[in-house]
Amino acid sequence: MTPADLSRSLFDLLVPLVEGRRPGAAAELSPTDVVLERPKNREHGDWSSNIAMRLAKKLGTNPRELATEIAERLASVDGVQGVDVAGPGFINVRLDAAAAGQIAHTIVERAHDYGRNESLAGHVINLEFVSGNPTGPLHLAHTRWAAVGDSLGRVLRASGAEVGTEYYINDAGNQMDKFGLSVQAAAFGEPTPDKGYPGEYIGELAARVVAADPSLLERPRDETLAEFRERAYQLQMAEIKDSLQRFNVHFDVFFTEQTLHEKDPATGRSAIDDAAERLKAQGHVFEDDDAVWVRTTDFGDDKDRVMIRGNGIYTYFAADAAYYLSKKDRGYTEKIYLLGADHHGYVHRLRALSGAAGDDPDVNIQVLIGQMVTVNGAKLSKRAGNIVELDDLLEWVGADSLRYELARYPSDTPLDLDGEQLRKRSNENPVFYVQYAHARTRSVARNAAEAGVDRSVFRPEMLEHETESALLGALQEFPRIVAQAAELREPHRVARYLEEIAGLYHRWYDNCRVIPLGEQPVKDVHRTRLWLNDATGTVLRNGLDLLGVTAPDRM
């Protein structure tokens, strides 16, 4: 019996009970109102519900009295071994071994699909993260959102949402001109221009640009600046994409800011021109001091924002508006922005922009701010100057350790990682602990096959050891954990859950044998335990995949 099965059974018996106490009240009740939780103390049962306390006031009755009546009816449900009422009206349910053990069969049969749910079905979400400038390599400040953003996209999809992951390339404006001038100067062996980009990588880009077209050194410099800028930009973006690929981070779209500025040949207008007109049509635009403003204070912003300066030049806010409307036009009803710790000022601005565009800021946009992360022992990049490059971290720590560790903490808290601990192949390293548990399930399966133990028999009533009960109870939670991680935008919940499963599995492994000792015969209990072993491996593998981390068969 899965939690969903038990919840449905509880709902089905509640409907006539509620209707009998207050005619018409059952129509207000839905299956989602019946929430089950695992008691912290396993002696209190397998599942607990506070539904009686939630319904008592509406029905004009005492919560404990209502809980007692519910418990009496629930006790007759197949698979329920016992029901107790605790405290002011908690309903604690104990399943019989066969009902509890059935989940192992369900997990193995569903395989990769176990954990997937439909809690966010119908949601169409644009998820933007990383969005590092194309003027240099990705570094430590980008790394956290790369790991968290990709994992968040995975749990959102696993919960039924339609998700488009997006990287916004800020490839327009002064920073690109400075970048081009820096590369051009390096090509001629000159020092970095004022406010330009330092670092050995600039010289490397210059050498590659010149190698592809030596004539750039012979032509007038004012004629070649645009070529230096564009060629170096393309090379740098290729490096960024390669770094992300090696970090197992994938984007559906790389959206360039340049496209917002480009004029349509047919209309002579850009996306930013159109965005300005559309915001005016919404009635939140006004003119003052020769400038065009958006009255974002109507939606909680701390000040109104200039969209067009007095000289007719668009501001960055205008590009932000055009980009937001682009997402809206592409069918994304929800937009999630993952921004760095230095972007707090963007929260009210983007929410206000959503309102000015005719959307509901509480529904159509969510801005998440990630805090800074440091890594003890990390060396500054010689190529890029005074930063820690993602590529260097990958070479030093490895993608799996880095991704898992970054994803296992709430992203809104500062994080200081121990680089040397992340390199350890011991239980002190959380990713090793979880990966080793998965590898152990695969080792048990291989050894079982050699010993003649297969899954030809499944008798869940035999899974009655206390470690089996604890493990089965936790395995049932996986779909709920995934749904919760998606709803709260907190993929770290998956990582912490996997560590719990790994601990429960190791304890079960120490107490319950899948393979008989010595010359003892293979029995049905061994075959049934193989189902539980393989079910645990499935959950660990599926969970690691949601975090973008590999699940090795051997370690």
pLDDT band at 494 (very low <50, low <70, confident <90, very high): very high
pTM summary value: 0.90
- Residues of the chain with pLDDT > 70, as a percent, come to 99
Q: What is the pLDDT of residues 421-448, one digit of tens each?
A: 999 999 989 999 999 999 999 999 999 9
Q: What is the pLDDT of residues 364-412, one digit of tens each?
A: 999 999 988 888 888 767 677 778 899 999 999 999 999 999 999 999 9
CATH number of the CATH domain containing 75: 3.30.1360.70
Domain region containing 492: 426-546
Domain stops at, among 95, 130, 153: 95
- Per the listing, tokens 């499935």 go with 538
On the CB side of 2, CA atoms within 13 Å amount to 16
Q: How many CB atoms lie within 10 A of CB 448?
A: 21
Q: Is residue 265 part of a domain?
A: no
Q: Is residue 19 part of a domain?
A: yes
Number of domains in the chain: 2
pLDDT band at 485 (very low <50, low <70, confident <90, very high): very high
Apex CA 527: angle with CA 522 and CA 529, to 5°?
A: 120
* DSSP run (H or E) holding 448: helix 430-450
- Residues of the chain with pLDDT > 90, as a percent, come to 81
On the CB side of 285, CA atoms within 13 Å amount to 19
CATH number of the CATH domain containing 477: 1.10.730.10
Domain stops at, among 95, 114, 133: 95
The average pLDDT across 4-22 equals 90
Q: Coil, helix or strand for 457? A: coil
On the CB side of 119, CA atoms within 13 Å amount to 19
What CA–CA distance (Å, rounded) separates 128 from 327? Answer: 10
Q: Is residue 226 part of a domain?
A: no
Residue 382: its pLDDT value, please?
Answer: 65
Q: Report in angstroms the alpha-carbon separations of 365 from 18, 120, 411, 522.
A: 38, 16, 18, 58
Comparing 96 with 188, which gets the higher pLDDT? 188
Q: Is residue 284 part of a domain?
A: no
**Which are the contacts of 520, defined by CB distance < 8 A and separation ≥ 6?**
none
Q: What is the pLDDT of residues 295-344, one digit of tens each?
A: 999 998 989 999 999 998 999 999 999 999 999 999 999 999 999 888 88
Longest dimension (CA), the chain: 93
Query: Quick one: tokens of 297?
Result: 């204070």
On the CB side of 506, CA atoms within 13 Å amount to 12
Q: Coil, helix or strand for 384? A: coil
Q: Is residue 171 part of a domain?
A: no
Q: Is residue 55 part of a domain?
A: yes
Q: Is residue 207 part of a domain?
A: no
Q: Is residue 416 part of a domain?
A: no
Give the lowest-confidence range in 268-272, 411-415, 435-439, 472-476.
Answer: 411-415
Amino acid at 552: P
Domain stops at, among 70, 95, 120: 95
Q: What is the pLDDT of residues 142-184, one digit of tens each?
A: 999 999 999 999 999 999 999 999 999 999 989 999 999 999 9
- Per the listing, tokens 């404006």 go with 173
Pairing of strands 90-95, 47-49: antiparallel
